[in-house]
Chain A
Amino acid sequence: MNFIWVFMIIISYIFSFFAGTTDAVTKSVFDGCESAVSLVISLLGMMCLWTGLLEIAQKSSLTEKIQKLLYPVIHWLFPSVCKNSEVAGAISMSITANLLGLSNAATPLGLAAMEKLEKRNLIKDTASDEMCMFVVINTASITLIPTTLLTIRAAFNSLAPFEIMVPVWIASIISVLSGVLCAKICSRRKSF
């Protein structure tokens, strides 16, 4: 991330010198700060709501039930934490929210799972294999019903708003599997 971040900023400025967009780039710095703050504020309420509901689900052992349903998947993806009910429970809840297309819930639940994974991480400043795997899954889409997209397609009077669903599912599966396999292979190589 260190390299990517610096690269993005420097390349923007260099390119803007040639394209004559330097002013726009400078303005975008301030806009960026503002939109990051408004993003966090808009997320704050959702975050509280879902971490609160997650706590209820955990105390009532509802997460354990869901975790049992997802056990085969969790066991394959996160072999070392699948026995730990707190971590595996949080991961299961986050994956469920993603599958259901509850994007507002997915981020809070995902963050909760990350924090639980971090508690078990032995070297604090280096990501564990489980953390890498979890983030990779979240950067690829695992949504069964892309609600927002379907709504927009319908709003544009598509003759068949749902006809994209099958290719979307296949492409999602290919994308997630590539990421997961890539992470699995990398995790076996000590050089990473």
Chain B
Amino acid sequence: MTSFILPAVFIIILGYGMLRRIKIFDVFLSGAKQGISSCIGILPALVGLVVAVSMVRASGLLDFLAKILSPILNKFLFPTEVLPLALLKPVSGSGALAMIKNIFEVSGVDSYPGKLASVMLGSSETTFYALAVYYGATKVKDTRYTVFAAVVADIAGIVAAVVLCNIFWA
């Protein structure tokens, strides 16, 4: 899909610019220049967050939580192998991708855990990465209710994924 969408987006943007007789390359350069500073600007926030996330992962806390919670959650058709994914996805996109590959290998891509993991991954984002990156680009220190609302969205997404998979495939 991306192999088709990306060229289309390019052609539309450049074609429309040509039509409007814009000095496309000059405008592109001035825009791209702004990109450098905003990208470097997010580094401090990213360092802080990525370090904290890799510390949590290395400590083994997530696996421990998954172990404690699994007996309770198994009753709600929430397979143990999917729980670490639900805990990891909000903090690490690449970690979640590695984990879902592992679930596919162990349980099978078309198994119930495989499907639930897919739905969960497909319907969520790396919440804390987005928080750090977007606010890292600003001077904002007080993010008010952002974290709260973002976590509510995450939990609602996970619950919805479990309920939907129950309806569709259980």
A interface residues, Cβ below 8 angstroms from B:
1, 4-5, 8-9, 11-13, 15-16, 19, 21, 24-25, 27-29, 31-33, 35-37, 39-40, 43-44, 47-57, 59-62, 100-102, 105, 107-108, 110-112, 114-115, 117-118, 121, 124-127, 131-132, 134-136, 138-141, 143, 145-150, 152-153, 156-160, 163-172, 174-180, 182-183, 186-187, 192
Q: Which residues of B contact A107 (CB under 8 A)?
A: 133
B130 interfacial by beta-carbon distance below 8 Å: yes
In the assembled complex, the Cα of A102 lies from the Cα of B12 at a distance in Å of 15
Contact A178 B156, beta carbon cutoff 8 Å: yes
In the assembled complex, the Cα of A168 lies from the Cα of B141 at a distance in Å of 34
Contact B51 A32, beta carbon cutoff 8 Å: yes
Partner among A21, A56, A100, A177 whose Cβ is within 8 Å of the Cβ of B28: A56
Q: Which residues of B contact A150 (CB under 8 A)?
A: 1
In the assembled complex, the Cα of A183 lies from the Cα of B109 at a distance in Å of 36
B135 interfacial by beta-carbon distance below 8 Å: yes
Contact A175 B153, beta carbon cutoff 8 Å: yes
The prevalent SS among residues of B at the interface is helix
Q: Which residues of A contact B5 (CB under 8 A)?
A: 100-102
- The contact sample of 7 A-B pairs, CB cut-off 8 A, is A33-B50, A50-B35, A111-B42, A112-B34, A152-B100, A156-B104, A158-B110
Contact A148 B55, beta carbon cutoff 8 Å: no
Contact A53 B22, beta carbon cutoff 8 Å: no
Q: Which residues of B contact A1 (CB under 8 A)?
A: 131-132, 135, 143, 147
B164 interfacial by beta-carbon distance below 8 Å: yes
Report the nearest A residue to B105, measured CB to CB. A156
In the assembled complex, the Cα of A20 lies from the Cα of B83 at a distance in Å of 23
Q: Which residues of B contact A54 (CB under 8 A)?
A: 31
Nearest-Cβ distance from residue B69 to partner chain A, whole angstroms: 15
B20 interfacial by beta-carbon distance below 8 Å: yes
Partner among A44, A101, A115, A118 whose Cβ is within 8 Å of the Cβ of B2: A101
B88 interfacial by beta-carbon distance below 8 Å: no
Q: Which residues of B contact A12 (CB under 8 A)?
A: 52, 55-56, 58-59, 61
B86 interfacial by beta-carbon distance below 8 Å: no
B27 interfacial by beta-carbon distance below 8 Å: yes
Contact A164 B13, beta carbon cutoff 8 Å: no
Q: Which residues of B contact A33 (CB under 8 A)?
A: 47, 50-51
In the assembled complex, the Cα of A13 lies from the Cα of B56 at a distance in Å of 8
In the assembled complex, the Cα of A19 lies from the Cα of B67 at a distance in Å of 14
Given contacts A5-B52, A127-B146, contact A182 B19 (CB under 8 A): no
Contact B52 A171, beta carbon cutoff 8 Å: no
Partner among B52, B115, B131 whose Cβ is within 8 Å of the Cβ of A164: B115
Partner among A44, A52, A175 whose Cβ is within 8 Å of the Cβ of B39: A44
Partner among B20, B54, B115 whose Cβ is within 8 Å of the Cβ of A31: B54
Contact B123 A168, beta carbon cutoff 8 Å: yes
Report the nearest B residue to A125, measured CB to CB. B141
Excluding A12-B59, A60-B16, A147-B1, 12 further A-B contacts by CB distance (< 8 Å) are A28-B58, A59-B17, A60-B22, A62-B13, A114-B138, A132-B149, A138-B125, A139-B127, A167-B164, A168-B118, A171-B119, A175-B124
Nearest-Cβ distance from residue A130 to partner chain B, whole angstroms: 11
In the assembled complex, the Cα of A169 lies from the Cα of B75 at a distance in Å of 25
Contact with A along B139-162 (1 / 0, CB 8 A): 111111111111011111100110
